[in-house]
Structure 1
Amino acid sequence: MGLVFTTPIGTPLDPSNFDKSFKELLSRADISAIRFHDLRHTFATFLIAEGTPPRVVMELLGHSQIGVTMNTYAHVLPIVSSPAVEQIARLLLGQPSTV
C-alpha cells in the first residue's frame, strides 16, 4: 500500500512537518486549531447525521466491527432528528437561519 502523504519527491513526510503545514492551512482558512484526526470524527459525524447507514460508516472508517463505530459515534444518533442538526446544516450552507 502506498503512502498517503509524501514530500514533493515521494519520500515519507515527517509528522512534525505535516502538523505544521496542517496548522498553517487551518490558520489560512480561519478555522480553529484542531488535530488532523478530528477530521475523521467530523467526517463520520456528518455521515451519521445525514442518515448514512452505520455499516457504511463502519466500512468507510475501516472499523472491523460495527460495535466500534456505534460505541464511538452513539452520541450522534440522538441528535440526528434534532432541529439543531438542520440549523447547523443551514449555517454550513450559508442559508438564512429560521431561529
Structure 2
Amino acid sequence: MHDLRHSHTSMLVHLGENPKMIQERLGHANIEMTLGTYSHLYPKQDLDLVKKVDQIN
C-alpha cells in the first residue's frame, strides 16, 4: 500500500500539482509533513518555491 501511495504522490509532483493540494489529498495534518516526506521528488530549481510555501504557514 505504501508503494502505491508513494507512486501516486510522485505522479502528482511530476504533473506539477500544488503541494498544498497534495497535502490535503494525502491527509497530512500540515504541509511540513508533506514537504518533509516528498521534497526529494521536486527538482532543485523548485526548492526556493517549496521554501516560500513553507514560510506561508
Q: Same fold (TM over 0.5)?
A: yes
Instruction: Please list the CA deviations of residues 23-44 of structure 1 after superposition, one character each: whole Å capped at 9, or x if unmatched.
Output: xxxxxxxxxxxxx211001101
Deviation of 1:74 (Å): 0.5
Q: Which has the higher contact order (CA 8 A, sep 6+)?
A: 2
Structure 2 counterpart of 1:65: 30
The runs of at least 4 consecutive aligned structure 1 residues that moved more than 2 Å come to: none
Deviation of 1:78 (Å): 1.2
Match for 2:20: what amino acid? R
Instruction: Please list the CA deviations of residues 47-80 of structure 1 after superposition, one character each: whole Å capped at 9, or x if unmatched.
Output: 011000000000000000000000111111017x
Residues matched between the structures, number? 46
TM (norm. structure 2) is 0.72
Q: In the aligned structure 2, how far is the partner of 1:47 from the partner of 1:63? A: 15
Higher Rg: 1
Match for 1:51: what amino acid? G
Higher share of residues assigned helix: 2
Match for 1:46: what amino acid? M
Q: For 2:2, which of 34, 37, 40 is the aligned residue?
A: 37
Q: Which runs of 5+ in 1 are unaligned?
A: 1-35, 82-99
